[in-house]
Amino acid sequence: MTQEQHLIPTAGTATQPTSPAALRRTNLSLVLRHLHDHASASRADIAEATGLHRATVSNLMTELLEWRLVREVGIEHVGAVGRPRRAVALHGAHVGALGLEINVDYIAVHGTDLSGRALVERRVTFDTVGSGPDRSLRRLALVAREAGEAMRRAGTIPAGVGVAVPALVDVARGVVAFAPNLNWRDLPLAARLSSALGPMRLPVAVDNDANLAALAEYSSGVAAGTPHLVYLTGEVGVGGGVIIDGKLLRGADGLAGEVGHLPVDPAGDMCGCGRQGCWETKVGLAALVRTAMPEQSYELADELVPDPEERVMEIARGLASGDRRMLDAVAHVGKWLGLGGSIIVNLFNPGAIVVGGYFATLAEWLLPHAQAELTRLVVGSPAAQCRFIASGFGFGAPSRGAATIVVNQLIDDPTAIMDPTLRPAAP
Amino acid sequence: MTQEQHLIPTAGTATQPTSPAALRRTNLSLVLRHLHDHASASRADIAEATGLHRATVSNLMTELLEWRLVREVGIEHVGAVGRPRRAVALHGAHVGALGLEINVDYIAVHGTDLSGRALVERRVTFDTVGSGPDRSLRRLALVAREAGEAMRRAGTIPAGVGVAVPALVDVARGVVAFAPNLNWRDLPLAARLSSALGPMRLPVAVDNDANLAALAEYSSGVAAGTPHLVYLTGEVGVGGGVIIDGKLLRGADGLAGEVGHLPVDPAGDMCGCGRQGCWETKVGLAALVRTAMPEQSYELADELVPDPEERVMEIARGLASGDRRMLDAVAHVGKWLGLGGSIIVNLFNPGAIVVGGYFATLAEWLLPHAQAELTRLVVGSPAAQCRFIASGFGFGAPSRGAATIVVNQLIDDPTAIMDPTLRPAAP
C-alpha cells in the first residue's frame, strides 16, 4: 500500500457527525481505516494522520484492543533518537467477511477475517444457466453456509456476505437487474440469499463481477493503492471495472465501464450483440481461438467457446513451443487490446490497466504487443506510461472483491461488530 | 438544481475538524454550500439538510448575515398549517470571482459575485500565439485588472481569479505544463499572473478549458446538477471535460477526458497528430468544412480553419435554406459524433453530454443524427437514454467555469472572506 492510497467510503454524506454516537463511530472508523491502509502504526502516527487528539486516539485504541479489532505488534524504533513507540495493527481474527461469485459454470467463495487474511478459498463447478435462479440460489446459500462453518471452526464469525454477479446490478437494493449470460432478470438476490442463509441472518451486498474484481485489485492486487485503475476481464466476454480516486465508478445508471461493445472498427465483423466491430469481436476469447485454431472455429458460431480454460492452456502450450500461427494470432489480438486500451487511457488516464482471465494467462506473449500499441496511440506522454499488468488472482478476483466490500463496510462502521451481545471472550 | 446535486469539494480530506476554528469553517461552509445549491432555505431546512443543530445554524446565520454573505429573502409558507418561516439566500454581492480564458485568438473574462450574478462579461480578440507568453500574460493581467475595476465600481471586490487554458495544466502548482496550440510549455501562470495583478494580490487558480466548461455546465448550465456529465468542445480541436459524482475527473496525470484522438476508424484519414482515424478527423470543424464546402478544402491542409465562426455561420445559413450538400455533410458528421458519444456513454454512463462550440451552433441539424447513432450503439437501455444537449453558454463556458472554481473555493472556506480587516461597512 502506498501513501497515495485513498479511502473507499460508503455512500457519501456531506454532513458532519453531530451526536456523540456518530462521532465515536466516525473516529473508530478513521483509526481502523488508517490501520487497514498501513501495515502497522503507532498511536502518535494515527493521531497525526487522522487529525484526532492523542488522548482521543488512546481511548479509541483501548476500546479497539478490548474488542480485539486491533492488536499490539511490538516496538517500532523511529530514527536514531527518541523513545521507541508501541505499534498496533488491524486484527479482528474473530470477524469474518464472506465473498462469493456466481458465474455461468461455477461458484467461487473467498472468506477472510477483518485483516484480510484468507481463510477459505474454493471454486465449485455449477451449471447456473441450466439450474435456473431458484436452484442456483439454494446452491449459492449452501456454498456460503459451508464456507461460513469452516470459518467458524477457525474461530472467525462471518459478519457479512458479498456476491459478485456478471450482471447489471441495482446495488442499493441488492437486485440483479439483468444478467444476460445467466438468463436472470430482476432477481432480488440480496434479500433471497440472506433469508436462505437462515440463522446466520447475515447482511448481503451484491455487485457486478468486473467492479468487484477492480476493487480487489485496488485493495490487495498487483496494482494495490493505485488511485486510478481499470480492470479488464478476459473471457469470451470482455468487461471492465473502473476505480477513480479509490472509488468504484458506477455512472448515472450503474452501467459505467462497459468496454466489451466499444465500436473500434466500423468495417469489422458482426458481434453477437447485433452491432459491428465491437471490441469483444477483436479481443474476446472467441476471437483468439478463431485465429489461433481456425480448424476449431466451426464450434464458435455462437461466440461460445467449449472448455475455455482448456483452450487457453492449449494455446499457451503452442506459444511456449513457438507455434508461428499462434504467435501471430496473439500479436494480432494484442494489437487490438492496445487500441482499446488507448481509448480507456485517453478517457480515464488511469495509473494501470490490470487484466484478468486469459489476458493474464497469456500475458507474457500478449501484453508486449498490447503495450506497444497503447503507447503508440495514447495522447500525452505521461498517460502513455500507463502499463498493462496481469492480475495475480486468477479466477478469484471477483469473490475476493466481494469479501472486500464486506470488510470496507465493517471498517466504515465498526460499531456494527462492537455490539455487546457479540463481545468476544477474553483472549 | 436538483436534489441529486452533489458537492464540489476541494481536495478531499479524510480527517474530521478537531479545532474550534476548523469546525467553524466546516460548518460555515456547510451552510453556504446548502444555500448555493438551493435558491433559498429556512434555518430549519438547513439544520435538517446539514445535520447541524438548530441553535448552531442560528448562530452561524447571525454571523453570515452580519458579513452579508447571506440575506433574508422573506417569508416562506410551507404547507397549509404551521407558522411561516423566514428564508435566507446566498448573498455576498460585495465578494467577487473573476474568471478568465486565454485561447488561440481571444481572451474572455467573466466576473460574478458570490451568488453567481454576472457582473462583467467580455471577449477581446488577441493573437496569443504571435504574442508569446510574456506579452500574453501582460495582456491577460490588463484584462483582469480592467474587469476587476468594473466590479469594484459596482461594489464587488474580487477575491480570487480562475484562468482557463487549452492546455495540460498542473493544477496543484498552477503551471501550464503544455499548451500545444498556444506554444506554451512549463509556464508558471498562476504565480506570474498573481504578481502581474500587483496590488490586487489575488490568488490565481488555473485549469484546462474543457474541464472548466464542464464545471460551468454542472454548476449553472443546461444540465446543471447532473452528477455524471460530459462536456465536449466543438472547434477545430475536440476536447472533453468529465464530471463524475459532481467532481471533475482528472485521472492519474491530469489527462483524463482526452476525446479528440480516440481511434475510431482504423481505415480513416491521417490526423494532424500523426495517428490514423482519430475522432477529431471525423467531427472536428475542419472535417465538417471539408465535407460541407469542398471548394474551400484547399485552405485546410494544416487542419486550420480561417475565420471559424464565420464558416460555421455560413454553414448554418446553408442548412437553414435546405442546402442538400450541407445537410448531407452534417448528417455524416452527426453520425460520427454519435459513435464517439457511444464510447463516452459506454465508459462513463453519464446523464448527459453537453456540447459546445459549433456542435451547439448547429445543434438543431447535427444532434438528431448524433442522438440516433448514439442510441443504436450504446449497450444497455438506460444508458441509451443519455442525451446530447447543446450548451447555452456560447463561447463563454470556460471563463464562466473559471469564475465557478473561485466561488467554490470561497464557499469551501468562507473564513477567507471573513477577515476582520475586510469587514464590510454596515449596509
Q: What's residue B185's pLDDT?
A: 93
Q: Helix, strand, coil: what percent of chain A each, to 5?
A: 45, 20, 35
**pLDDT-above-90 percentage for chain B:** 58
pLDDT for B243: 97
- Helical axes A20-37 vs A43-50, angle rounded to 10°: 110
CATH no. for residue A74? 1.10.10.10
Q: Looking at the predicted complex, does its ipTM rise above 0.85? A: no
Nearest C-alpha neighbor of B181 from the set B238, B229, B263, B110: B238
B-chain residues near A26 (CB < 8 A): 16
A62 and A118, same domain (yes or no): no
Query: Dihedral sign, CA of B115, B121, B126, B129?
Result: positive
Q: Is residue B13 part of a domain?
A: no
Domain identity same for A121 and A178: yes
A303, three cell numbers: 461466440
- Domain range spanning residue A289? 224-392
In the block, which residue shows the cell 460585495? Answer: B94
The last residue of one of the domains, among A90, A108, A125, is A90
What is d(CA B189, CA A70) in angstroms, rounded to the nearest whole number?
A: 48
Beta bridge partners of B340: none
* Residues A209 and A137 occupy one common structural domain: yes
SS3 A404: helix
**Mean pLDDT, range A341-362, rounded to an integer:** 96
H-type helices in B38-173, by residue range? 43-50, 54-66, 128-153
Instruction: Of B421, B411, B422, B425, give the one whose Cα is nearest residue B70.
Output: B411
Test the A interface: residue of B347, B377, B379, B412 with most A CBs within 10 Å: B347
Residue A300 has pLDDT above 60, yes or no: no
With respect to residue A257, please indicate whether it lies within any of the assigned structural domains.
yes
Q: What is the mean pLDDT of chain B?
A: 87
In whole angstroms, give the CA distance from residue A212 to residue B392: 39
With beta carbons less than 8 A apart as the criterion, state whether B289 and B304 touch: no
The one-character DSSP state at B303 is S
CA distances B349 to A211, A340, B28, B201, B258, Å, are: 14, 17, 34, 42, 16
Read off the pLDDT band of A10 (50, 70, 90).
very low
Question: Which residues from chain B sit within 8 angstroms of residue A264, using beta carbons?
Answer: 263-264, 266
pLDDT at residue A277, rounded to an integer: 94
Q: Fill in the DSSP letter of residue B342.
A: H
C-alpha cell at A175: 437486485
Beta-strand runs (E) in A51-197:
70-76, 85-90, 95-102, 106-113, 118-125, 157-165, 168-170, 175-179, 184-187
**Predicted confidence band of residue A147 (pLDDT cuts 50, 70, 90):** very high
Helices (H), A85-228: 128-153, 189-196, 209-220
List, for residues B246-289, the tens digit of each pLDDT value: 999 999 988 899 999 999 999 999 988 889 999 999 999 989 99
Q: Which residues contact B396 (CB under 8 A, 6 or more apart)?
A: B108, B110, B121, B123
Claim to verify: residue A181 and residue A239 sit in the same structural domain? no
For A6, name the nearest residue in chain B, comparing CA atoms only. B14
pLDDT in tens, A64-122: 998 888 888 877 665 556 566 788 888 888 899 999 999 988 999 999 999 888 999 99
Axis-axis angle for helices A397-412, A209-220 (nearest 10): 70
The candidate with the shortest Cα–Cα distance to A286, out of A311, A309, A305, is A305
**Cell 466490500, residue?**
A405
- Predicted pLDDT at B8: 29
CB A46 within 8 A of CB A57: yes
pLDDT at site A420: 64
Q: Are residues B367 and B241 in the same domain?
A: yes
What percentage of chain B exceeds 70 in pLDDT?
Answer: 88
* pLDDT (mean) for B151-171: 93
The cell for B118 is: 454576472
Whole-number pLDDT of residue B78: 58
Backbone CA torsion sign across A277, A280, A285, A286 = negative
- CA of B179 to nearest chain A CA: how many angstroms apart? 11
Q: Which of A68, A90, A112 is the last residue of a domain?
A: A90
* Domain-located, residue A5: no
Give yes or no for residue A418 having a pLDDT over 90.
Answer: no
- Per-residue model confidence (pLDDT) at position B426: 46
Residue A128 sits in the same domain as residue A255: no
CB B176 within 8 A of CB B186: yes
Q: Helices A128-153 and A189-196, interaxial angle, to 10°?
A: 50
Distance to chain A for B36, nearest Cα, Å: 14
- Residue B422 pLDDT level (bands cut at 50, 70, 90): low
Q: What is the mean pLDDT of chain A?
A: 87
Q: Residue A10: helix, strand or coil by DSSP?
A: coil
Assigned domain for B302 exists = yes
Q: Are A379 and A346 in contact (CB under 8 A)?
A: yes
Number of domains in chain A: 3
DSSP state of B163: E
Which pLDDT value is given to residue B416? 82
Smallest CA–CA distance, residue B9 to chain A, in Å, is: 10
Q: Which of B52, B258, B260 sits opposite A18 (nearest CB)?
A: B52
Same domain, A103 and A139: yes
Can you give the pLDDT at residue B119?
93
DSSP sequence for A320-373: HTT-HHHHHHHHHHHHHHHHHHHHHHHHH--SEEEE-HHHHHTHHHHHHHHHHH
For residue B206, list its beta bridge partners: B163
**Residue A10 maps to a domain:** no
**What amino acid is encoded at B299 in this protein?**
E
Q: Which pLDDT does position B247 carry in this prediction? A: 92
Residue B279 contacts residue B240 (beta carbons within 8 Å): no
The confidence band for A297, taking pLDDT boundaries of 50, 70 and 90, is: low
Asked whether residue A231 falls in the same domain as residue A362, the answer is: yes
Q: Where are the beta strands (DSSP E) in A377-423?
A: 387-390
Q: Which three cell numbers stand for residue B236?
A: 477545430
Would the CA dihedral through B315, B129, B111, B162 be positive or negative?
A: positive
Question: How does pLDDT run across A199-209, given as a tens digit for each residue?
Answer: 767 899 999 99
Q: Determine the average pLDDT of the residues in B150-167.
A: 93
Compute the average pLDDT of residues A295-301.
58
Query: Mean pLDDT lowest for which of A11-25, A344-358, B357-371?
Result: A11-25
CB contact under 8 A, B260 and A26: no
Tell me, yes or no, whether A165 and A187 share the same domain.
Answer: yes
Asked if residue B4 has pLDDT above 60, the reply is no
B362-395 burial, b for 16+ CB within 10 Å, e for fewer?
bbebbbebbbebbbebbbbeebbebbbbbbebeb
Same domain, A85 and A100: no
The identity of residue A316, as a single letter, is: A
Specify the DSSP element, H or E, that contains B119: strand B118-125
CA triple A315-A317-A323, angle to 5 deg: 75
CATH code, domain carrying A268: 3.30.420.40
Band of residue A352 on the pLDDT scale cut at 50, 70, 90: very high
The DSSP letter of residue B416 is: G
Lowest-confidence segment of A143-152, A373-382, B151-160, B295-304 by average pLDDT: B295-304
CA A217 to chain centre: 6
Q: What angle do CA A229, A235, A239 make, to 5 degrees?
A: 40
Q: How many Å apart are CA B116 and CA B96, to the nearest integer?
A: 9
CA distance linking residue A390 with residue A394, whole number of Å: 9
**Most trustworthy range by pLDDT among A176-185, A280-289, B417-426:** A280-289
B14 located within any domain:
no
Q: Are A156 and A280 in a shared domain?
A: no
Per-residue pLDDT tens digits for B317-340: 999 999 999 999 999 999 999 999
- Specify whether B152 is located in the same domain as B41: no
Residue A15 has pLDDT above 80, yes or no: no
pLDDT at B24: 85
Question: Chain A: nearest CA to B269, how far in angstroms?
Answer: 14
How many Cβ contacts (< 8 angstroms) between chains A and B? Answer: 189
* Residue A241: strand pairing partners: A231
Q: Please tell me which of A85-94, B9-18, B72-81 the model is most confident about, judged by mean pLDDT.
A: A85-94
Q: Is residue A6 part of a domain?
A: no
Q: List, in sequence order, every residue forming a beta bridge with A168; answer none if it has no partner.
A: A178
Query: What totals of helices (H) and strands (E) does chain A contain, helices first?
Result: 13, 16
SS3 B108: strand
Residue of B nearest to A385 (CA): B253
Tell if the CB–CB gap between B380 and A255 is shorter than 8 Å: yes
If you measure CA to CA, which chain B residue comes closest to A243?
B251
Q: Name which of B178, B244, B332 to mutate to probe chain A: the one with the most chain A Cβ atoms within 10 A of its Cβ.
A: B244
| End residue of a domain, out of A90, A107, A122 | A90
Which residue among B23, B251, B382 sits closest to A228, beta carbon to beta carbon? Answer: B251
What is the residue type of A84? P
Q: Is residue B284 situated within a structural domain?
A: yes
Kindly state the average pLDDT of the residues B90-117.
Answer: 91
CA nearest to A52 within chain B: B18
Binning pLDDT at 50, 70 and 90, where does residue B230 land? very high
A230: part of which helix (H) or strand (E)?
strand A229-232
